[in-house]
Structure 1
Amino acid sequence: MSRRAVITGVGAVAPGGIGKKAYWDLLAAGRSATRSITHFDASPYRSRMAAEADFDPVREGLTQQEIRRLDRAAQFAVVAGREAVADSGLTFAKLDPTRLGVALGSAVGCTTSLEREYIVGSDVGNKWEVDQTYAVPHLYDYFTPSSMAAELAYLVGAEGPVNVVSTGCTSGLDSVGYAAELIAEGTADVIVTGGTEAPLSPITVVCFDVIRASSTRNDDPNTACRPFDKTRDGLVLGEGSAIIILEELEHARKRGAHIYAEIAGFASRCNAYHMTGLHPDGKEMAEAINAAMTQAKLESEAIGYINAHGSGTKQNDRHETAAFKRSLGQHAYATPVSGFKSMIGHSLGAIGSLEIVGSLLAIEEGVIPPTANLHEPDPECDLDYVPLVAREAQVDAVLTVGSGFGGFQSAMVLRRVEEAGR
């Protein structure tokens, strides 16, 4: 009998809401959490807005030592991880630690702390040779993103495979797909997975400024991210974390766990074409979708909702639209599609996991969150993008996709599991 991976716990730190309930309330309301950047003085930059998380580490239960030691991204992961652990109902102390693992996604690791320490050690860039004596003693952990996965391992006592998956903006999707593969192959019974990112620092903002990928609607940040709208002018950065407890199906059933959904299929492709460029025909994303659908043994008609990458750039939106048509055929026109980045921005390596959690809650609640700020649809994006207002619908299978710099294209099928009651 093949081993199947199911989701039994979720936790979220998101712009506009800490915890899965607050996060879902924002998505269901179609409310945008983007605003002018408050983390630092963004006045010199082309794009001066982001979707920030209103995160107070003390209020969320972190100790002063944890706050001093952990980068903001690691803090997010620990807080979201604690919620996911509680939500799962698992008693981790009773599990075989060698059958328990961690797979965490992150694109830029501990960027915030690294930049802060460079500024101090270089005397704001005035010294070519950085004086390490000014650095905090935890600098090594900031250099190695695996330190964040280790924090989750400490949290649950994991002694099995503990890894970081870093594939750019698909990291939060690929980490969960990788975790599902570990369970399917028999390496582990429970994996703590997901993604985390706190990239809102000057170095990140200026990188996106240079390639002109970000929106310049600084006078109206709340409506700046407009996926699939013909007036869109780029993405809006974000931050956050979503942690997911993945469990082997029979292991979950034996203990009477609540099952959100099964990871029925996952696939990833690369276009081997350009660091940021995308073919307009959507071929590589379509191939990832087709492979995930084949693994799930589902026809296109079974997909009740598509959670889009929806970054708010013309290139991505048209590429995705073409991919959906290419892979799902005529059913693409009958399938609701929406993009969460219109509300929570693009949190790079965390966004794929936040989108998975939102998709799971859409299945649970029977509600499809909308695409915010979609007032004037791009004629080339002619699918049902659920503009502005959430829609009630029973959804049994969701297709969620991601697209990342480097040409990465990933797709995952989430499917309701029968007799999965709380």
Structure 2
Amino acid sequence: MSRRAVITGMGVLAPGAVGVKEYWSLLSEGRTAIRTITHFDPSPFRSRMAGECDFDPVKEGLTRQQIRRLDRAAQFAIVAGREAIADSGLDFDRLDPTRVAVALGCAIGCTTSLEREFVIGSADGSQWEIDQNYSVPHLYDYVNPSSMAAELAWLVGAEGPTTMVSTGCTSGIDSVGYAARLIEEGSADVVISGGTEAPLSPITVVCFDVLRASSTRNDDPATACRPFDRTRDGLVLAEGSAILIVEELEHARARGARIWGEVAGYASRCNAYHMTGLEPEGREMAEAIEAAMDKARVLPAHIDYINAHGSGTKQNDLHETGAFKRSLGEEAYRIPISAFKSMIGHSLGAIGSLEIAGCLLAIQQDLIPPTANLHEPDPLCDLDYVPLVAREKRVHTALTVGSGFGGFQSAMVLRQMGGDKR
């Protein structure tokens, strides 16, 4: 009998929302959580806004030792992981630890802590040689991003495969796709998966400034990210985490678990074309969509909702529009599409998992969150991008996609399990 992967627990930490309930409230109301950066002085930079999390590690139950030791991205993962574990109802003490795995996604690792330690050890960059006497004893953990996956494994005592997936901006969707494959191939019964990212540091901001990929609407951050809008001028960086409990279907049914939905199909491609460039035809993304639908055994007519990558850059939105038309044909014009980044920004390796969580909530609530700030649709982006206001619609099957620097293109089909609505 084939093994199927379902999601039985979710935890979320996002700009404007701590916890799944607050996250859905933000998405469904179409509120934006973008503001001027407060983590550091952003005045020297081209783009000076971001999606920041209102995160108090003490309030969220982390110890002083954990706060001192863990990078902010790891702290996010632990807090979101605790919510996901509680939501799943799993008692990990009763599970075979060798059948519990971890697959965590992150694009740029512990950049915030690495930059902080460099600044301290180099006396604000004035010393060529770093003085190791000023380095924290946990510096190696910051260099090695897999330390964050290990933290999640230690949280539940997981002794199965433990993996850090780092494929740029598709890390959050690829980690869950990898988790589903671990379930399907029989390597695990439960996988703690998802993505986490805390990239808001000067080095990250200046990197995106150099690429001229980010918006410069610094005078009005809330409206800066405008996917599929004629006036869009770039993405908005963000931070956050979504942790998902991926479980084998019969394992979940045996314990009477409530199921958010099934990971019915997943596929990934690379365009092998350009580090950041995209061709408007969207061939590789279209191929990933087609392969994911083939795995899920669904046709374009079965897709009720599409969650777009929707970064708000000129070329991405054209690329996605082309990919949807290429893979879905005339059905592309029928299916409602929306972009969460318009509200919570682009949290790099975390955003794919945050978007999966939002899709599962849309399935449960039969409500499609809107694309915020979409006042003047680009005539070349002529699909139904659900502007400004959420839309009630029966959602049984959703498609979510991701696109990342390096040419990564990923797609996932999520499906409601029978009549299991929470």
Q: Which residue of 2 aligns with 1:189?
A: 189
Calculate percent identity across the aligned residue pairs: 76
Q: Hey, what does 1:95 align to over in structure 2?
A: 95
Q: Which amino acid counterpart does residue 38 of structure 1 have in structure 2?
A: T
**Structure 1 partner of 2:295:** 295
CA shift for structure 1 position 419: 4.0
Q: Return the offset for 1:279.
A: 1.1
What secondary structure is seen at the aligned counterpart in 1 of 2:352? helix
- On the 8 A contact 2:194/2:244 being kept in 1, the answer is yes
**2:155 paired with 1:155:** yes
Residue pairs, 1:226-237, within 5 angstroms:
226-237=226-237
What residue is the counterpart of 2:141 in the other structure?
141
Residue type matched to 1:319 in 2?
H
Distance in 1 of aligned mates of 2:389 and 2:206: 33
Work out the number of aligned pairs and report it: 422
Amino acid at match of 1:389: V
Q: Does 2:173 correspond to 1:173?
A: yes
2:349 is the alignment partner of 1:342: no
Distance 1:347 1:16 in 2: 13
User: 2:396 is matched with which residue?
Assistant: 396
- 1:20-419 to structure 2, matched below 5 A, reads 20-419=20-419
Deviation at 1:420, TM superposition (A): 2.5
SS at match of 2:383: coil
C-alpha distance in 2, partners of 1:13/1:275? 29
Letter in 2 for 1:235: L
Shift of 1:421: 5.1
Distance 2:240 2:176 in 1: 16
CA contact (8 A) 2:12 2:80 kept: yes
How far residue 131 of structure 1 moved from its aligned partner, in angstroms, is: 1.0
One-letter amino acid of the structure 1 residue matched with residue 312 of structure 2:
G
- CA displacement 1:149-186 (0-9 Å, x = unmatched): 01100111100000100000000000000000000000
Equivalent position amino acid for 1:191 in 2 = V
- RMSD of aligned Cα (Å): 0.6
Report SS of the residue matched to 2:346. coil
Superposition deviation, residue 127 in structure 1: 1.1
For residues 248 and 204 of structure 1, the distance between their equivalents in structure 2, rounded to whole angstroms, comes to: 38
What is the rounded CA distance, in whole Å, between the counterparts of 2:257 and 2:48 in structure 1? 44
Q: Residue type matched to 2:206 in 1?
A: V
- 2:293 partner amino acid: M
Paired residue secondary structure (1:237)? coil
CA shift for structure 1 position 380:
0.2
**Deviations, residues 113-154 of structure 1 (Å, cap 9, x unaligned):** 000000001111111111111011111110111110011001
**Which whole-Å CA distance do the structure 2 matches of 1:421 and 1:111 have between them?**
39
Q: C-alpha distance in 1, partners of 2:353/2:242?
A: 5
Could you give the per-residue CA deviations for residues 328-362 of structure 1, whole angstroms, max 9, x where no partner exists?
A: 00000000000000000000000000000000000
Unaligned 5+ segments in structure 1 are none
What amino acid does structure 2 have at the position aligned with 1:186? G
| Alignment-mate amino acid for residue 52 of structure 1 | E
Structure-2 separation of matches of 1:335 and 1:420: 23
Task: Measure the CA separation in 1 of the matches of 2:394 and 2:255.
Answer: 27
SS in 1 for 2:293: helix
Equivalent-residue separation in structure 1 for 2:60 and 2:390 (angstroms): 30
Amino acid of the structure 1 residue aligned with 2:335: T
AA in 1 matched with 2:245? I
SS of residue paired to 1:175: helix
One-letter code aligned to 1:292:
A
One-letter code of the match for 1:257?
A
Q: Whole-Å Cα distance in 1 between the matches of residues 302 and 255 of structure 2?
A: 29
Q: Secondary structure at the match of 1:207?
A: helix
> Structure 2 counterpart of 1:369, which letter?
P
- Aligned-partner Cα distance in 2 for 1:316–1:162: 32
Distance 2:115 2:47 in 1: 19
CA distance in 2, matches of 1:245, 1:138: 28
Task: Say which SS state the counterpart of residue 104 (structure 2) adopts.
Answer: strand
**Paired amino acid for 2:347:** S
Q: 1:234 to 1:421 in 2, by over 3 A?
A: closer
Find the aligned partners of 2:216 and 2:315 in 1 and give their Cα distance.
Answer: 17
One-letter code of the match for 1:25?
Answer: S
Counterpart of 2:368, as a letter, is: I
Q: Deviations over 1:55-108 (max 9, x none)?
A: 000111111111001100000000000000000001111000000000000000
Shift, 1:388, TM fit: 0.2
Alpha-carbon distance in structure 2 between the residues aligned to 1:380 and 1:420: 38
Q: 2: distance between equivalents of 1:419 and 1:314?
A: 40
**Aligned-partner SS, 1:103:** strand
Deviations 1:32-58 (A, max 9, x none): 000000000000000000000000001
Unaligned residue ranges in structure 2 (runs of 5+): none
Deviation sequence 1:11-42 (CA, Å, 0-9, x none):
00000010000011000010000000000000
Residue 89 of structure 2 aligns to which amino acid in structure 1? G
Amino acid at match of 1:79: V
Amino acid at match of 2:342: S
Which stretches of structure 1, 4 residues or more, deviate above 3 A after TM superposition? none
